[in-house]
Amino acid sequence: MSKPEKLIADGIRLDGRKPDELRPIKIKVGVLNRADGSCYFEFGGNKVIAAVYGPREVHPRHMQKSTSAVVRYRYNMASFSVEERKRPGPDRRSIEVSKVSREALEPVIFQEYFPRSAIDIFVEILQADAGTRTAGINAASIALADAGIPMKSLVSACAVGKVDDTLVLDLNKDEDNYGQADMPIAMTPDGNITLLQMDGHLSRDEFREGLEMAKKGCTAIYEMQKSALMEKYSSQIEGDNSE
């Protein structure tokens, strides 16, 4: 596809959203049997699945820390997740995404409760449509909770960007490809920023406004994450009672 003439017309984006509107989100908690915790997360065209294993023994041994758990995060794109087949395995981009995503989640995990052990987070991107790292962080945060890992809070993530000189929340693929800026953010519910990246072109004021917009997006996602977890765990308690 070549660049559309306009990415936003009369305040409405190509996919019909308003500038500060998120794409539809679908969350399912506990979708995998073997993993200790898991989550399936749909974020517009993104289909992402996250699994958490642990706390468990650290292999290789030398990676273990004597006073806390190590958190490992593997972001992996399926070869069929994008238009042009992606060569399987980690590339430079996914290594960087894994690093910043891990750092986005580490501050909320009580790592000191589990010395000499590992908490492994695996995120598979089954279908990619701009914003996979934020979808991955949202999914992983729920999967951690589903695994029963003690956490200070959930982490919610979304991106804000600029298209046709307008700030927009949660870029889709075309907006990402042909837009002027992209800024993924992750945040705890009390407003601490745990992930911040940006590329493109933003003025100082646009940046401030964008950051506030992204924070509102994260708050909306946080409510959805919370209710997805409530849905699974409150119904389980009711189920136990009826037996």
140 to 179: interface string for other proteins, x by CB under 8 A: ----------------------------------------
Q: Determine contact, residues 219/153, Cβ cutoff 8 Å.
A: no
- Among 8, 50, 100, 144, the residue binding other proteins under the rule CB under 8 A is 100
- Give me the helix-helix angle, 132-146 and 92-105, nearest 10°: 50
Q: Provide, rounded to whole angstroms, the least separation between the CB of residue 114 and other proteins.
A: 16
Q: CA 152 from chain center: how many Å? A: 17
Please identify which residue in 93, 148, 230, 235 interacts with other proteins, judged by CB under 8 A: 93
Listed ranges 49-57, 128-136, 204-212, 235-243: which one lies at the site for other proteins (CB under 8 A): 204-212
Stretch near other proteins under the rule CB under 8 A, chosen from 26-34, 140-148, 167-175, 207-215: 207-215
Considering the rule CB under 8 A, would residue 96 count as an interface residue with other proteins? yes
Q: Tokens at residue 221, please?
A: 């996602």
Question: Quick one: which of 216, 203, 209 has its CA closest to 158?
Answer: 216
Pick between residue 10 and residue 190 the one whose CB is nearest to other proteins. Answer: 190
Write b or e for each residue in 161-175: b if 16 or more Cβ atoms lie within 10 A of its Cβ, otherwise e: bbbbeebbbbbbbbb
Using CB under 8 A, pick the residue from 14, 78, 193, 224 that binds other proteins. Answer: 193
CA distance 48 to 39: 8
Which lies closer to other proteins via its Cβ, residue 56 or residue 208? 208
**From the list 31, 151, 198, 224, which residue makes contact with other proteins (rule: CB under 8 A)?**
198
Does the protein bind other proteins through residue 195 (CB under 8 A)? yes
Distance CA 50, CA 138 (A): 9
Cα–Cα distance, 139 to 80 (Å, whole number): 20
Neighbours of 34 (CB within 10 A): 7
| Residues near other proteins, by CB under 8 A | 92-93, 95-96, 98-100, 103, 106-107, 183, 188, 191-204, 207-208, 211-212, 215
